[in-house]
Structure formats: structure tokens, C-alpha cells
Chain A
């Protein structure tokens, strides 16, 4: 990950003036903003250099396609067909002819330039308000050529932030469980990929069952459950070095791990004698603390972003319901009171909502509620789906969905899906194999 350092070189003045275009992300966006992504222009010598290094014919167009795809998948933007563009990319980057872009109904325009400078990839781009005829933002940065996909994601993050007023979520990764084989003998591997499905990599070989990987919000560490030697235990994995270790020394199954928001503790369940309780372990001094104390199943713990509270699910009322307590285990309060069973609470990074899985009358739902349990809203219904994970800006949820097996034992699949907090823009996230248990990373840059 050493290559991931990106230096921001110049920041031309971001124009903050009244009346420029804005995108409202708090509602389902039925009219995505028409945006023209002009291919990043590139001089012939730079083009050839990058072709040699990256085996891509035109890296400028490749980066633009990444931006375009990100914008489209966000559901908030409608990238226009390039065939209709009248102005050449290099000239547009200097000074767009706004009337031309207006003609094809573009409201925003992205232009830019890539060049090869001292073995590095230098990119500059501009965001323009077509109607107002004004530059909204201009940025340039330099990085190693191999980072070219990330360049596309960073551009998207900047554009998204400028137009919506909130941080983006494109320069991020997803860790998940890749699945293959028959349902009765599923082979599962840890896998990691960019948020758009590119750069998929398997992190384990599939020799042992692995489940529920989760990112550390502050580093490239992952915690997950492995059945190594048939002993289900919570592990810690450093993605950069590949080193792994068991978390704590428990005489039985530990599971359902997550990091604390500062990344310094792991919270998880430990099952013993038919009773599962929630524990934390401090990763620095290895001190283990027992947080819950109840003869019921207490599991799926998740911290609030300020670290002061923990949500979890428990069947102490007879069925699985969601509870919130202080991080020392005091003040336990049930917050889910709707019809059905509730599980997998996950606190939004914005702090205001808890996402959950609900089972009611044979259907599974992904939903959100306020942290006191009020304002329950179900976003999506299906035969089976669970385990939502938040995008770092708290606007999108990723989860997994399984399909029914028919009477002949066929038809089973597990796929990753995402949906906006608004309940709109539901999409399958592409993975090379089946997938489950997704966890969204923090923004890699800034």
C-alpha cells in the first residue's frame, strides 16, 4: 500500500459562489443530474509511456470511464453519451464552449488532462457549471501510474463532495467472503476489491471456513472469524503484510468481531456453555473486558461512532431484538419494538441511525431506525438478505442477498447488493464469484 500515497500539488481556487448547481442526496433522486465527463486529454508522448507501463491504449479515457461509472452507479448523476460531445477534450479543458455543452443538456462538465512527469502520473481536472458558465473546482495531483484507478475514484469523490456538500465514498474498498461450491460444502475465502468491483484479490486459500470480515476504520487491518483447525476464533489480519493472529485466549468460540471507532479495540462475542456474551479486547495492552452479563444470546455488537455506546442483538426477550447500552455495559435498553425479529445492528458513521436486518412473516428486510428505535424505515425486502455495512459517508448500505434453492436443490446464489439510504438505487455489486458478509472501508485518501 506504499504506492497509495498521493500528493496534492496545486489547488486552484475552488469557487464558492451562490446559485451554482447542487445535488440533493437526502431524497431518492428521480432526476439524476446530467453531467458530461469529457475524456481526460493526453499528449501523444505521455499516451505512449502509459501504454508501455499500464498496457492501456489511452489512460485518459480509462480514467474518465471510471469517473463516469462511479457517477452513474451513485444514482445521483446521469453521465451523457460521449458521441454527442462537440468540443475536443484538450480545448474543453482550457475553456469550455458552454453553449455546446448546454445544447446536449449537460448541467455539469468535467474536463482534465493526464501527463507523464518524471515516471509519475500527473492529473488535473476541472468541474464546470454549464448553465452559470463558471468553473466550480480545479485540482491537480501526481501519483504512481499503478494508482490510475484510484485517480478516477478520487476525482469522483471531489466532484461528489463539491456537488452534494458531503464526502464521497468512491476511493474505498470492500472486504467480503467469496463463496463457491455446493451449498452443503461451501468453500469460503476472504476477498478484497475496490468499491466498484475492480482489483479483486483473494486473501485466504479456502482451506478453512472464514466469515464476517470487518475493516478497522483507521488502518488496513481486518478482523474476521476463521475455523482454522476447527476452532472458530476471531482473528486479526494485516492486509499489507498478510500476518494474522488470534484475538485473545478464549476457551471456546469467539465470533461477531468489529473494531471500535478508534481502531484500538475489538468487540466480539464469546460463546460458552450455551451462552454468548459480548467482550472487548484492547489491542495494545490485551486487556479483555466482559461487557454483557445475561443468560441469553448477546451478539452482533457495533459501537457508536463516538465510542460511547454499543448496539447489539439479544434474545433475552424471547426473540432476537436490538438493544443499546453504554460502552461499559450499563444502561441496557431495548430499542426494536416492531413486529418481527431484528438482528445485525450497525451504527451509521454519522451517528444518527442504526441499520439492521429484520425477519417478518418469512421475508427479510434491510432497514434503518434512529438510535432510540424510533422512525423505523425498511429499505428493501427479499427472500433472504442480511448484514448491512455503511459507506463511510453514511449514505449507502452494502449487504448480501441469497436466493431460494428450488426443489431440485438448484438456484442458490449469494450476491452483494447496495442500496441508498433513501431506499432508491438498489444495485448488485459485481464480484467474480458469489459473495457475502461485505464490509466497507473508510476513505483511503484524505
Chain B
């Protein structure tokens, strides 16, 4: 009985440690990155004044961050105002993955952006998706900051 209690407590301690360390890494901010998601503006271009063209992702992830959703809402508002414009969402991955998986991951990231734009009223007819996998990095560096800039979905005017 005692043993099981000790084990249980031990387990709880381990879980607590994991949670803490997870917090420690995910909240770590280097100025241009939060966790490993890029938060800087070096590579960002603008579709219109105040409308950034791209969103960034964590390693291996296609989940939209709070900042990404904010960017996409701005894009959606701009697209609603300019109803003739069609777009291509170009999905990209960093160089730290196998080529074929990265093609699929780029497609998944661009679709995450597409789905979000659609929930803000942008018709799927106006959106096409193109994955480049890891073929078109914006930053050629081999370091975590460069990789964070490359994990992105970029909204490009198609017409």
C-alpha cells in the first residue's frame, strides 16, 4: 500500500516537472520567437497596409497560433473588401524533415490557413493551395531562427 502511494506521489511529481519544463520551453521568448514559432517581422510582406501576408508554425505543427489567427482575420477583412481578388496559399516547411513528408506538411499548413479564412466568409473558390515543402526557404540559414521563418503559409495574390 505504501509502495503504491509512493509511486503515485512520484508519478505526480514527474507530471508536475514535465508540465513546468513544457511551460519553460513554450513560453521562452527570444525576441523573435515564442517557443519555436517566429514572431518577428523581418520576412513579412504586406498585402495591404496593416495586412501581413504570412503566418508561422511550430515544428511539425499546422495549428494556428493566436497571432496567426489575428493575421488571417485581417486578411479575411481585406479579401471581403476586395471581392475580385483570388489568392494562393503557399505552404512551407523547414529543412529539418524528409522531402516528401514536408510536401504533405506544407499542404496541411496552407489548408489550416484556408479553413480559417473560410470561417470568416471567404469562399473556397477564391483560394487555391500550393505546397512547396522545404523547397523555397526565405532564410537560407541552418539555425532555429531561420527554420522558424521558413515554417510558414504565405498568402499570395493570384490575379
A contact residues vs B (CB 8 Å cutoff): 182-186, 209, 211-212, 225, 230, 232, 252-253, 255-256, 269, 271, 273-276, 297, 299-300, 313, 315, 319-320, 343-344, 357, 359, 383-384, 386-387, 402, 404-407, 409, 412, 436-437
Q: Are A384 and B95 in contact (CB under 8 A)?
A: yes
Cβ contacts under 8 Å, B138 to chain A: 184
Identify which of A230, A269, A276 gathers the most chain B CB atoms within 10 Å of its CB: A276
- Scan B93-132; emit 1 where CB is below 8 A from any A CB, else 0: 0011111110111011001100100000000000001110
B103 touches A183 (CB 8 A): no
Indicate if B136 sits at the interface (CB-CB under 8 A).
yes
| A184-B138, A407-B143 given; A299·B101 CB < 8 A | yes
A-B contacts, 13 listed (Cβ < 8 Å):
A184-B138, A184-B140, A209-B135, A211-B135, A252-B129, A255-B104, A269-B104, A297-B101, A319-B60, A343-B98, A359-B96, A409-B141, A437-B99
Q: Are B103 and A256 in contact (CB under 8 A)?
A: yes
User: Are B105 and A297 in touch, CB under 8 angstroms?
Assistant: yes
Q: Does B66 reach chain A (CB closer than 8 Å)?
A: no
Do residues A297 and B97 form an inter-chain contact, with CB atoms below 8 A?
no
Do the beta carbons of B99 and A387 come within 8 Å of each other?
A: yes
| Cα of A211 to Cα of B129 in the assembled complex, Å | 19
B49 interface residue (CB < 8 Å to A): no
The tally of residues in B whose CB lies under 8 Å from a CB in A reads 30
Chain B min CB distance to A208 (Å): 11
Is the CB–CB distance between B141 and A300 below 8 Å?
no
Q: Is the C-beta of B40 less than 8 angstroms from some C-beta in chain A?
A: no
A28 to B108, CA, bound (A): 43
Tell me if B83 counts as interface (CB < 8 A to partner A). no
> In the complex where A184-B138, A274-B108 touch, is A232 in contact with B98 (Cβ < 8 A)?
no
Residues in B with CB closer than 8 Å to A212 are: 99-100
Q: Across the two chains, which residue of chain B brings its CB closest to A412?
A: B140
**Does B68 have its Cβ within 8 Å of any Cβ on chain A?**
no
Residues of A within 8 A of B4 (CB): none
Nearest Cβ on chain B to A437's Cβ, whole angstroms: 7
CA distance A438 to B136 in the complex (A): 20
Give every chain B residue within 8 A of A386 (Cβ-Cβ).
98-99
Q: How far is the CA of A274 from the CA of B62 in the complex (A)?
A: 9
B137 contacts A183, C-beta separation under 8 Å: yes
Whether the Cβ atoms of A300 and B140 lie closer than 8 Å is: no
Most buried by A among B107, B111, B138, B141: B107
By a CB distance below 8 angstroms, the chain B residues around A276 are 104, 107-108
State how many angstroms separate the Cβ of A254 from the closest Cβ of chain B: 10
CB distance from B59 to the nearest CB of A (A): 11
Q: In the complex, A357→B103 CA distance in Å?
A: 16
Chain A nearest CB, measured from B35 CB (Å): 17
Is residue B41 contacting chain A, with contact meaning CB distance below 8 A? no
